[in-house]
């Protein structure tokens, strides 16, 4: 993991970790406070929707900004702009002030929607092309660390020191992350007023670029299709812990921690990959689906923990593969725009998937729904592999090379 501890990426890694932990602490405290004041599951659902909805509108804006303005400045400004809203939860003391939670949750999510594609478009500027797979695997490690530490620590902090401490830590995390990011040195492509990115329309530029790369076409298709199914797993984590294995809140933390462990372990494999990224990504998607089916039929909690860790392991490797191909194939002037659109659509579809999964749970058991989710992953991997094979058979066409 030497790449993590040298160069500008080390700063981005640690700022992301601080940011992520602060958000995880705040989320636990916010949901607890909301339930305490309203006693309503609807209010929790409303907040979760408000955390996803902004991506549909603001992620494309963030992506477009990344292609037009200095990206480091955008990262710093979005962090600083979210501080006051992170602290605003301290003002909520009664049900009449719950609107502050809704408003701040929306603004914080909007900031993240702008921040995410900008951060993703920055990564290729920090490392050599040969290190793209390694840096993407480190991004999975980052997510894993946040899940492991956040899952176990967020509830403990709120319980021992109170929710106010968790909210303050989130606000301070944005400040610290902004200070770290402000010290990053980037070799950004100079933005020219009359560049192709400005002369062509927003959608036309992206469409032309995507049309000339089959690799990007099939990966974006995979990301969007998986988002339609992935909401099932997001909904079922707490359901499995509380209603299926009867482990309560501790089980929720353990299962999220198991996901984090799997993502961290994925680095040992993903960081060594050099080629065949798309094929390996589809194989991992297939295996992830198998693990989700295994989870749906697991009898004891130990089996479930193993299934969660294994599913996250394959997910981390697959995500690394797909992100690496995207970085290699997308020109620098289009990275922000493409990542912004992908973030917007995938999060919107994920939100729809979570919403309908909640409805379906009223009619079928969690285990049956989990089995359907795992089967969905397997079907997507098989169908896209078939498309890949057909395309490879006609690879004489000069466009759309496959990585």
Mean pLDDT value of segment 132-142:
90
What pLDDT, on a 0 to 100 scale, did the predictor assign at position 402? 52
Mean pLDDT of 311-340: 90
CA-CA-CA-CA torsion sign (127, 129, 131, 137): positive
Of residues 5, 101, 48, the one with CA closest to residue 351:
48
- Whether residue 101 is predicted with pLDDT greater than 80 in this model: the reply is yes
Q: Would you state the pLDDT for residue 400?
A: 47
- Which range among 66-70, 72-76, 339-343 has the greatest average pLDDT? 72-76
Q: Is 106 exposed, middle or buried (0-12, 13-18, 19+ CB in 10 A)?
A: middle
More confident residue, 349 or 43: 349
pTM metric for this prediction: 0.83
Residue 302 pLDDT > 70: yes
- What's the CA dihedral at 28, 29, 32, 35 to 10 degrees? -110
d(CA 19, CA 25): 10
Q: Which residue would you say has higher pLDDT here, 158 or 179?
A: 179
Q: Tell whether the model's pLDDT for residue 391 goes beyond 60.
A: yes
pLDDT score of 371 = 97
Mean pLDDT of 215-223: 92
Q: How confident is the model at residue 195 (pLDDT cuts 50, 70, 90)?
A: very low
User: Do 337 and 63 form a contact (C-beta atoms < 8 A)?
Assistant: yes
**Residue in 235, 258, 178 with CA at minimum distance from that of residue 350:** 235
pLDDT attached to residue 330: 87
Please list, in sequence order, all residues whose beta carbon lies within 8 angstroms of the beta carbon of residue 309, skipping any fewer than 6 positions away.
258, 259, 261, 262, 265
- How confident is the model over 343-389, as pLDDT tens digits? 889 988 988 888 888 888 888 999 999 999 999 999 999 999 999 98
| pLDDT for residue 403 is more than 70 | no
Provide the percentage of residues in the chain whose pLDDT is more than 90: 42
The confidence score (pLDDT) of residue 193 equals 45
């Amino acid at each position: 993991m030497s790449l993590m501890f040298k160069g500008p990426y080390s700063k981005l890694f640690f700022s992301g970790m601080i940011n992520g932990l602060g958000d995880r602490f705040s989320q636990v405290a916010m949901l607890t406070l909301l339930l305490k004041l309203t006693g309503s599951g609807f209010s929790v659902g409303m907040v979760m929707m408000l955390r996803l909805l902004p991506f549909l509108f603001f992620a494309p804006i963030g992506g477009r900004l990344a292609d037009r303005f200095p990206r480091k400045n955008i990262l710093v400004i979005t962090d600083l702009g979210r501080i006051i809203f992170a602290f605003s939860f301290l003002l909520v003391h009664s049900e009449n002030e719950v609107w502050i939670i809704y408003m701040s949750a929306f603004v914080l999510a909007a900031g993240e929607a702008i921040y995410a594609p900008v951060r993703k478009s920055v990564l290729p500027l920090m490392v050599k092309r040969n290190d793209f797979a390694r840096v993407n695997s480190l991004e999975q490690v980052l997510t894993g660390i946040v899940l492991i530490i956040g899952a176990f620590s967020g509830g403990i902090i709120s319980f021992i020191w109170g929710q106010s401490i968790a909210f303050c830590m989130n606000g301070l995390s944005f400040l610290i992350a902004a200070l770290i990011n402000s010290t990053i040195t980037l070799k950004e492509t100079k933005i020219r007023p009359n560049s192709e990115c400005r002369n062509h329309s927003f959608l036309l530029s992206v469409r032309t670029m995507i049309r000339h790369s089959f690799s990007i076409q099939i990966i974006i298709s995979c990301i969007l299709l998986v988002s339609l199914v992935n909401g099932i797993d997001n909904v079922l984590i707490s359901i499995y812990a509380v209603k299926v294995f009867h482990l309560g809140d501790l089980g929720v933390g353990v299962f999220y921690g198991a996901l984090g462990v799997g993502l961290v372990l994925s680095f040992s494999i993903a960081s060594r990959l050099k080629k065949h990224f798309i094929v390996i990504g589809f194989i991992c998607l297939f295996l992830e689906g198998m693990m989700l089916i295994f989870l749906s039929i697991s009898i004891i909690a130990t089996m479930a923990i193993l299934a969660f860790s294994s599913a996250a392991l394959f997910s981390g490797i697959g995500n690394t593969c797909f992100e690496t191909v995207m970085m290699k194939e997308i020109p620098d002037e289009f990275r922000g725009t493409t990542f912004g659109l992908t973030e917007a659509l995938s999060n919107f579809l994920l939100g729809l998937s979570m919403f309908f999964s909640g409805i379906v749970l009223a009619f079928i058991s969690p285990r049956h729904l989990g089995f359907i989710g795992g089967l969905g992953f397997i079907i997507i991997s098989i169908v896209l592999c078939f498309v890949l094979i057909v395309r490879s058979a006609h690879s004489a066409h000069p466009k759309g090379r496959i990585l």
